[in-house]
A and B are shown apart, each in its own frame.
Chain A
Amino acid sequence: MMFSESQFDGGSQIASSPATAAANRDTFGLVPLTIKQISEASHSGDDKSNFNVSGADVVNVSVVGMVFNIVERNTDVTFSLDDGTGKLDCKRWLNEPFDRLQMEEIREGIYVHVDGHLKSFKGEKHVAVFSVRPVTNFDEITFHFIACIHHHARTSKVQKIQGDGENINSTPKTPIQNGTSGFVSTLSSQHSVPFNLDGVKGVDQLVLSYLQNPANLANEKGINTDELSQKLKLPSNKIMESIRTLEEEGVIYSTIDEFHYKAVGSS
């Protein structure tokens, strides 16, 4: 790998193999979901601690609903969350003073935004909450449901695109499929939703297609990243992001230096 890990900002850990990179991307990010979606989540693969919602892996979720049945104990607080699509059990462990402080604001019947880890116990799903806050601006409720729809539409679309015979996959776990939906989950966790998601995936495709062009495949020296930037008319930072992504998926590699890349194989 030509890029050292110190070049990456943003806190996500980049593993050195495509499979682990995909797993890491899947497990980050807060996915906005309705309780109905959560009830339909299945366990993903062999790893019983991960869930799968409409094709994408989900670990951390964001739910907005009304609080009921608050039960306060010494070490934890449990409550039920009703978002109109279903009811979900939530548990907040009181480990830090911050936890208690946050829970003091939570009262029966108020709308709250819950972020937590989706878990299953004896076949029942519940959320291990790491943050609960009251909703003060009720447009947040509308927004949350729209975000759920948005996330669903995105991951379904990605599944469909990947299913349309992209011959990029060289590993059995189809890392790009999981990778890009993981990427989507991460970005959709911010409330200032960046609407350039299409752009990011699109750039990866453009770079890869350019490198997979037979004339370029034949070029032993690889393609200069400046050339990519000029030919695709995209800023170099976007090109470099795509290069990083594609390199991790194992579909391109650097040649004479870290500014020259070539696509793998003669597909």
Chain B
Amino acid sequence: MDTSNPAVLVNGDLLRSYVGRRVRTVVQVVRPDAGGLTGRSTDEKQIVVKGQMPAPLTTFVEVIGVADSAQSIHAEIVTNFGDTFDTSNFNQLCQLANGDFRHLFI
């Protein structure tokens, strides 16, 4: 059992509160970049992801990594989440997981 290195569930807005910490989020791929991709968070903010990408990319990807600024993540793991994903549910989950129910997660 090891809960020493959790990844905080974040959306675009929450990312700025966790700069320097390990985070996880789901973004919609806007375009691939050199060295990563640009994505749109579930609350419509832009997030730049740097790191190794799976190929080919699906519409949605999950990014787990360290937040290196309020708008970017240095990815450890990027996972294809398919072409359909409920962004509003995920967005609400981020708010709950960082709000009243934070103690269940981190």
Contact status A34-B105, CB under 8 Å: yes
Within 8 A of B (CB), among A102-137: 109, 111, 124-126, 137
In terms of DSSP, what is the predominant structure of the interface of chain B? mixed
Contact status A84-B64, CB under 8 Å: yes
Residues in chain A near residue B93, CB distance under 8 A: 142, 145-146
A211 to chain B, nearest CB (A): 36
Most buried by A among B3, B26, B81: B3
B106 to chain A, nearest CB (A): 7
Contact of A124 among B1, B24, B105 (CB under 8 A): B1
- The number of A-B residue pairs with CB atoms under 8 Å apart is 74
Within 8 A of B (CB), among A50-90: 66, 84-89
Q: How many residues of A contact B (CB 8 A)?
A: 29
Task: Report the bound CA distance from A111 to B106 in whole Å.
Answer: 20
Contact status B1-A39, CB under 8 Å: yes
A149 touching B96 in the complex, CB below 8 Å, given contacts A84-B24, A125-B1: yes
Binding site for A on B (CB under 8 A): 1-3, 6-7, 9, 24, 26, 60, 62, 64, 77, 79, 81-82, 84-86, 89-90, 93, 96-97, 101, 103-106
Binding site for B on A (CB under 8 A): 34-39, 66, 84-89, 109, 111, 124-126, 137-139, 142-143, 145-146, 148-149, 152-153
